[in-house]
A and B are shown apart, each in its own frame.
Chain A
Amino acid sequence: MTLPTVTTDEVDPTRLRWRRPRLRFGRWSAPLGIAGAAVALIWVLVAIFAPLIEPHDPLAQNLPILQAPGQGTFMGTDELGRDVFSRVLSGASVTIPLSLLLVVMSVLIGAVLGAIAGFFGRWVDELIMRITDLVMAFPTVILAMVIAAALGASLFNAVLAALIVSWPSYARLTRGLVLGLRQSNYVVSGQLLGFSALKSLWRDIAPNILGPILVLASLDIGTAILLLSGLSFLGLGAKPPTAEWGSMVSDAVQNFDSWWLGLFPGLAILTVVVAFNFIGDALRDALDPKSNTLRGGGLTL
């Protein structure tokens, strides 16, 4: 064991406030994050106000079928005479709330389990982590498919299936974060002052681990959207005639020539997922300016 180094107030040259951005992507992360937040906000508003904005009833089959965009409708009509634009808007009100709900519930379940495992250690940790490992051992999408198929195709079951496969990564992350702080002097001080486990977790540990969890959650929203849309695409989620982007893309496969049937719901998925990804990246960079991003093409020291 070596004696401690002296510097408590020293200017540490590696932790300077002014930092020339060395990440090719990192320099853009704030503007992109803002752009992403703007797009996400627009979509959230669409999800809330869809019934008011949509020009046609998304379920009404009263328009000429398979009409290309520009001939009376903004995004064309599908094979049953429904307005694609209205269905895309309405789809937002299905996908976005459910995805957000999925992420929130995964975080809650995963983080609580992970925190318990990390804080109490020993057999509690072993038990929870082995269960986590077990679930994580299966490929996410396939497991979700199996569960959804077993429970029967419905949006509710799709969310349930997605929840089951999503919580483990939060449990792992939270456990690691809690372990990192568990032996910190201030946590031990709290215990010496008579804090109960709950008090220690709530006061001392939770506020200091929120950052990384938040980052993972925001990056995960995109994954949640893709998972739910994917399950619906496979017929394991939303049931017809519900307007849901994934099932819209699935239906579009049958009418390949009508390019507008798959393009617009696909673009909707793309823009929402990318928007949330940019938010997540910006949050991650904001919380830790020294983090690496491989996307930028270079690690930085």
Chain B
Amino acid sequence: MSILAITDLHIDLRTSDGPRPIVDGIDLVLEKGRIHGLAGESGSGKTMTALAILGLLPESMKSSGSIALMRDGATTELLGASRQVLAAIRGRRVAMVFQDPSTSLHPQISVGRQLTDHMRHHLKLGKREARARAIELLERVSAPDPSGALSKFPHQFSGGQRQRIAIAVALACDPDVLLADEPTTALDVTVQAGVLQLLRELVDDSGLSVLLVTHDLGVMSAVADEVTVMRSGRVVESAPREQLFTHPQHEYTKSLLAALPGSALEESPEALVHELLAAPIQEDAQ
């Protein structure tokens, strides 16, 4: 069953030379209770796609198409939705976790309040109930010393712990969809392992649906159920995880896997150097 459907999404950047396409017509379906990986390199448009879902695109970007959130038979159109609709959806039905653990939490508000504030707003909980639920959430994400953590501030935690807390904040109102934009990229690999395990547990145990945006194909291989690969604003390939990694169809996907140590298609260092030197000069940076 689908929970989020992106159809023919276009995002253009207004420049002094006219509109420049960032996302050029993509389709994506997120199934309920699954982790859908959105893979691509810098500039592929994957982050903008995630931001578009929650109406977080900067003013200079124009979007068109459809992003539909489906629940209990009712469909809510998110693209171009009014502020009231978005306010009701954000945090409550669709939540987001970002890349940088040092800026994903407000540095001057206690962890407890960051958890309970929007819970109380969206779910109309009383103070005590909210607090109890906050402790529960922190336990769920294996944050250290959950009841003590409520009165602490983000800087008192490590990067990995902050990311877990950010996930707890995102889950506070029991959303249907979690958008995760490079959630483990800034973390050490041993810390990343724990966060990936957490994501997988949340999906398997509570039926959460996750759109995981990352460039890291290793992470995709570990937790994603389906993978969509983007390049220059377009979808290049979309397939179940195992199929994508063992039998990629598109040349671009194959080249990504070839450059990746440990993948089935991995190439030797000599071959990689040869390709690098023989490659036509890419277009200059903007």
Please report A residues at the B interface, Cβ cutoff 8 Å: 2-11, 13-14, 16-20
CB pair A18–B102 under 8 Å, yes or no, is: no
**Residue B99 is within 8 A (CB to CB) of chain A in the complex:** yes
Please report B residues at the A interface, Cβ cutoff 8 Å: 13-16, 22, 41-43, 47-48, 57-61, 99-102, 159, 182, 185-188, 215, 285
Q: Is the interface of A mostly helix, strand, loop or mixed?
A: loop
Report chain B residues within 8 Å CB of A13.
57-58, 60-61
Q: With A and B bound together, what is the CA distance between A5 and B181 in angstroms?
A: 12
CB pair A5–B58 under 8 Å, yes or no, is: no
Q: With A and B bound together, what is the CA distance between A9 and B41 in angstroms?
A: 9
List 15 A-B residue pairs with CB atoms under 8 Å apart, sorted by A's residue number. A2-B101, A2-B102, A2-B187, A3-B186, A5-B100, A5-B185, A5-B186, A6-B185, A9-B41, A11-B13, A11-B22, A13-B61, A17-B16, A18-B60, A20-B59
Shortest distance between the CB of A22 and any CB in chain B (Å) = 10
CB pair A18–B42 under 8 Å, yes or no, is: no
Report chain B residues within 8 Å CB of A19.
60
Q: With A and B bound together, what is the CA distance between A38 and B186 in angstroms?
A: 52
Q: With A and B bound together, what is the CA distance between A14 and B22 in angstroms?
A: 15
Using A7-B42, A10-B47 as known contacts, say yes or no to A2 and B16 having CB atoms under 8 A apart.
no
CB pair B43–A16 under 8 Å, yes or no, is: no
Q: With A and B bound together, what is the CA distance between A18 and B12 in angstroms?
A: 12
Of the listed residues A2, A4, A8, the one surrounded by the most CB atoms of chain B closer than 10 A to its CB is: A2
Q: With A and B bound together, what is the CA distance between A16 and B13 in angstroms?
A: 9
Q: With A and B bound together, what is the CA distance between A9 and B42 in angstroms?
A: 6
Using A9-B285, A16-B60 as known contacts, say yes or no to A2 and B100 having CB atoms under 8 A apart.
yes
Query: In chain A, what residue has the closest Cβ to B215?
Result: A6
Query: In chain B, what residue has the closest Cβ to A1?
Result: B159
Report chain A residues within 8 Å CB of B187.
2-3
Q: With A and B bound together, what is the CA distance between A20 and B59 in angstroms?
A: 9
Q: With A and B bound together, what is the CA distance between A6 and B41 in angstroms?
A: 9
CB pair B43–A9 under 8 Å, yes or no, is: yes
Q: With A and B bound together, what is the CA distance between A17 and B16 in angstroms?
A: 7
Query: In chain A, what residue has the closest Cβ to B56?
Result: A13
Q: With A and B bound together, what is the CA distance between A98 and B69 in angstroms?
A: 71
CB pair B14–A18 under 8 Å, yes or no, is: yes
Q: With A and B bound together, what is the CA distance between A11 and B44 in angstroms?
A: 9
Shortest distance between the CB of A15 and any CB in chain B (Å) = 10
Shortest distance between the CB of A20 and any CB in chain B (Å) = 7
CB pair A6–B60 under 8 Å, yes or no, is: no
CB pair A5–B99 under 8 Å, yes or no, is: yes
Shortest distance between the CB of A30 and any CB in chain B (Å) = 14
- A3, A7, A16, A18: the one contacting B188 at CB < 8 Å is A3
Q: With A and B bound together, what is the CA distance between A5 and B187 in angstroms?
A: 10
Query: In chain A, what residue has the closest Cβ to B102?
Result: A2
User: A2-B101, A9-B285 known; 19 other A-B pairs, CB under 8 Å?
Assistant: A2-B159, A3-B185, A3-B187, A5-B99, A6-B42, A6-B215, A8-B42, A9-B41, A9-B43, A10-B43, A10-B47, A11-B48, A16-B13, A16-B15, A16-B58, A16-B60, A18-B13, A18-B16, A20-B60
Report chain A residues within 8 Å CB of B43.
9-11
Report chain A residues within 8 Å CB of B59.
20
CB pair A2–B186 under 8 Å, yes or no, is: yes
Report chain B residues within 8 Å CB of A18.
13-16, 60
Query: In chain A, what residue has the closest Cβ to B187?
Result: A3
Report chain B residues within 8 Å CB of A8.
42
CB pair B15–A17 under 8 Å, yes or no, is: yes
Report chain A residues within 8 Å CB of B42.
6-10
List the 8 closest pairs (A to B, CB-CB), nearest first: A10-B42, A13-B58, A9-B42, A18-B15, A18-B14, A2-B186, A7-B42, A9-B43
Q: With A and B bound together, what is the CA distance between A5 and B159 in angstroms?
A: 13
Q: With A and B bound together, what is the CA distance between A3 and B184 in angstroms?
A: 10
Using A13-B58, A17-B15 as known contacts, say yes or no to A6 and B285 having CB atoms under 8 A apart.
no
Q: With A and B bound together, what is the CA distance between A111 and B59 in angstroms?
A: 41
Query: In chain A, what residue has the closest Cβ to B19?
Result: A18
Q: With A and B bound together, what is the CA distance between A5 and B101 in angstroms?
A: 11
Shortest distance between the CB of B60 and any CB in chain A (Å) = 5
CB pair B182–A6 under 8 Å, yes or no, is: yes
Of the listed residues B13, B102, B187, the one surrounded by the most CB atoms of chain A closer than 10 A to its CB is: B13
Q: With A and B bound together, what is the CA distance between A128 and B128 in angstroms?
A: 61
Shortest distance between the CB of A71 and any CB in chain B (Å) = 55
Report chain A residues within 8 Å CB of B22.
11
Q: With A and B bound together, what is the CA distance between A14 and B60 in angstroms?
A: 10
Q: With A and B bound together, what is the CA distance between A13 and B12 in angstroms?
A: 12
Query: In chain A, what residue has the closest Cβ to B51?
Result: A13
Shortest distance between the CB of B220 and any CB in chain A (Å) = 14
Q: With A and B bound together, what is the CA distance between A17 and B58 in angstroms?
A: 13
Report chain B residues within 8 Å CB of A7.
42
Q: With A and B bound together, what is the CA distance between A106 and B25 in angstroms?
A: 58
Shortest distance between the CB of A12 and any CB in chain B (Å) = 10
Shortest distance between the CB of B282 and any CB in chain A (Å) = 10
Q: With A and B bound together, what is the CA distance between A11 and B232 in angstroms?
A: 11
Shortest distance between the CB of B249 and any CB in chain A (Å) = 25
Report chain A residues within 8 Å CB of B57.
13
Q: With A and B bound together, what is the CA distance between A112 and B78 in angstroms?
A: 58
Query: In chain B, what residue has the closest Cβ to A2?
Result: B186
Query: In chain A, what residue has the closest Cβ to B188?
Result: A3
Query: In chain B, what residue has the closest Cβ to A17?
Result: B15
Shortest distance between the CB of B30 and any CB in chain A (Å) = 23
